[in-house]
Amino acid sequence: MSRYLRNAYLEANIVSPKSTDDATHVAIATISMADAIVSWNFKHIVQLDKMKMYNQINLLNGYGILTIVSPREIINYE
Q: Do 32 and 24 meet the contact criterion of CB atoms below 8 Å apart?
A: no
Percent pLDDT > 90 in the chain is: 85
Residue 17's domain spans which residues? 2-73
**Whole-prediction pTM:** 0.90
Inside any domain, residue 78: no
Query: How do residues 48-78 score in pLDDT, each as one tens digit?
Result: 999 999 999 999 999 999 999 999 888 877 7
Q: Do 71 and 38 meet the contact criterion of CB atoms below 8 Å apart?
A: yes
Q: How far is CA 39 from the centre of its chain?
A: 10
Residues near 64 by beta carbon (within 8 Å), at least 6 away in sequence: 30, 33, 58
Domain count for the chain: 1
CA–CA separation, 73 vs 26, rounded Å?
A: 18
